[in-house]
Amino acid sequence: MLTQYSYDVFDLKEISEVEEIFQDPALIGFNVTIPYKEKILPYLDELSDEAAQIGAVNCILIQDNIKKGFNTDVFGFEKTLAVHRKDFHSSALILGNGGAAKAVQYVLGKYNIPFKTVSRNSDLNFENITETIVTENPLIIQCTPVGTFPKVEDCLNFPFEGMTEKHLVIDLIYNPENTAFLKKAAEKGAKTANGFYMLEQQAEKNWEIWNFQKK
């Protein structure tokens, strides 16, 4: 028998509104996006190993009234990194410290790639990062929403002068396809990639969870 599915948008003003969504008996799961990837945790019954270690969830499976959280951003970013990374991309800068950045941290840790986090509230921030630090870290992953449609002209305050042709710059944003951040990185000769492949791969993993983990 062919099962019919639909994929809808639940636009929440507050995370507490998720309680109402959970009341739908037909719901088998949903995705979680910014800014709720961390705030959703108290509303769940179980977490996958990755989600528990990361502290962020972007996929939820509802089975036998159990709400289990997964982090498929890990799978998507790992696939993206495998496509683009070279051996000399041996240390990284992660821009941002939200749920997506935590998935990136997890993957880099898995592959023993040392990294520094740059965020508004970290010791290394967008006010004190230098060209030298950028040059010394040839892998840069942009995990903030800055530059997302419709604010496509927005760009992080960043010392692009430190980039070289040996840099790999991955911006997790996929709309627009080419962010202001990626454009400025490309101008310095860096190899660039957006977040669309990561989006596709995490979606494939979501589908697998919703369809093959259900009894």
126 vs 98, which has greater pLDDT?
126
Active-site residue list: 37
Q: Specify the pLDDT at position 214.
A: 54
Statement: residue 5 has pLDDT above 90: no
- The reported pTM is 0.89
Q: How many whole angstroms separate alpha carbon 51 and alpha carbon 38?
A: 10
Predicted confidence (pLDDT) per residue in 202-213, tens digit: 999 999 999 876
Is there a common fold for 15-71+203-212 and 74-198?
yes
Higher pLDDT, 7 or 133: 133
Measured CA to CA, the distance from residue 104 to residue 100 in angstroms comes to 6
Question: For domain 15-71+203-212, which CATH number applies: 3.40.50.620, 3.40.50.10860, 1.10.3720.10, 1.10.10.10?
Answer: 3.40.50.10860
Q: Where are the domains of the chain?
A: 15-71+203-212, 74-198
Q: Give the count of beta carbons closer than 10 Å to the beta carbon of residue 212.
A: 7
List pLDDT tens digits, range 142-189.
999 999 999 999 999 999 999 999 999 999 999 999 999 999 999 999
Rounded CA-CA distance 152/203 in Å is: 24
Checking if the pLDDT of 1 tops 60, the result is no
pLDDT for the residue 3: 66
pLDDT reading at 109 higher than 80: yes
Task: Spell 49-72 as b/e; 16+ CB within 10 A means b.
Answer: ebbeebebbbbbbbeeeebbbbbb
Q: Judging by beta carbons within 10 Å of its beta carbon (0-12, 13-18, 19+), is residue 87 exposed, middle or buried?
A: exposed
